[in-house]
């Protein structure tokens, strides 16, 4: 990507700390992180880096799992910038990044999927959603720092650093970055909708 699209603007709002980076083909890398909400933090990071969005050759962003609000805020910004100047988008998933950066096939990386369920990634198994009762017991369970959870973390789960600046160089040669023309939040499956036929409500007929 860097050889063809430098400079690369990286946006990750999956955790409570929004991370913004600029990568160049000569190996240069600059990063900013901010704990404000994503609608502020993304633009604060870009401003502190002193980069112009119009100068970016392409965008690399995290599409989840993680903060849905943060991820969709980034996606909305990317779509807007694309209208002004079309450029390539590449997406990666947070748990995949952590797992492959660790290099450990015995590591299970999880993030809250709500309703007593978890996003789960293990090298060789892919990303899936599983209930708490199905979490593996034969691997080390970790969850990235800064990822919110509504279901209590199981006792065996440990938190692991989520610094994109540190993780990306460890996976630079792996095929983890997928091109997309429609930035959005990651979904395990496309939503399905039930057809509803509207009916006029009437008072029940009077009994004689």
Instruction: Give the range of the structural domain holding residue 62, as residue numbers without chain letter.
Output: 2-93+162-180
**Is residue 114 scored above 80 in pLDDT?**
yes
Give yes or no: residues 19 and 115 share one domain.
no
Share of the chain above pLDDT 70, in %: 90
**pLDDT at residue 187, as a whole number:** 77
Q: DSSP letters of 44-108?
A: HHHHHHT--GGG-SEEEEE--SS-HHHHHHHHHHHHHHHHHS---EEEE-HHHHHHHHHT-TTEE
Give yes or no: residues 56 and 147 share one domain.
no
Q: Provide the mean pLDDT of the chain.
A: 92
**pLDDT at residue 186, as a whole number:** 80
Give yes or no: residues 129 and 84 share one domain.
no
pLDDT tier, 193 (very low <50, low <70, confident <90, very high otherwise): very low
Residue 193 domain-assigned?
no
Give yes or no: residues 12 and 86 share one domain.
yes
195 against 95, higher pLDDT: 95
Q: What's this model's pTM, rounded to 2 decimal places?
A: 0.89
Distance separating alpha carbons of residues 91 and 183, to the nearest angstrom: 8
Distance separating alpha carbons of residues 80 and 3, to the nearest angstrom: 25
Counting the structural domains of the chain, the total is 2
Q: Which whole number is the average pLDDT over 167-178?
A: 95
């Amino acid at each position: 990507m860097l050889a063809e699209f430098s400079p690369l603007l990286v946006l990750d709002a999956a955790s409570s700390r929004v991370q913004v980076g600029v990568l160049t083909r000569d190996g240069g890398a600059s990063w900013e992180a901010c704990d404000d909400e994503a609608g502020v933090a993304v633009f604060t990071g870009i401003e502190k880096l002193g980069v112009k969005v119009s100068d970016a050759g392409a965008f690399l962003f995290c599409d989840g799992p993680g903060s849905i609000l943060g991820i969709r805020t980034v996606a909305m910004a990317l779509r807007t910038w694309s209208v002004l100047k079309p450029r390539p988008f590449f997406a990666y998933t947070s748990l995949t990044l952590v797992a492959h950066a660790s290099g450990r096939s015995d590591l299970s990386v999880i993030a809250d999927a709500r309703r007593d369920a978890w996003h789960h990634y293990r090298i060789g198994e892919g990303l899936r959603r599983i209930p708490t009762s199905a979490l593996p017991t034969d691997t080390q369970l970790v969850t990235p720092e800064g990822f919110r959870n509504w279901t209590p973390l199981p006792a065996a789960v440990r938190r692991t650093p989520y610094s994109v600046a540190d993780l990306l160089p460890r996976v630079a040669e792996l095929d983890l970055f997928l091109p997309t023309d429609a930035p959005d939040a990651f979904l395990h499956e496309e939503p399905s909708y039930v057809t509803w036929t509207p009916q006029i409500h009437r008072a029940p007929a009077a009994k004689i």
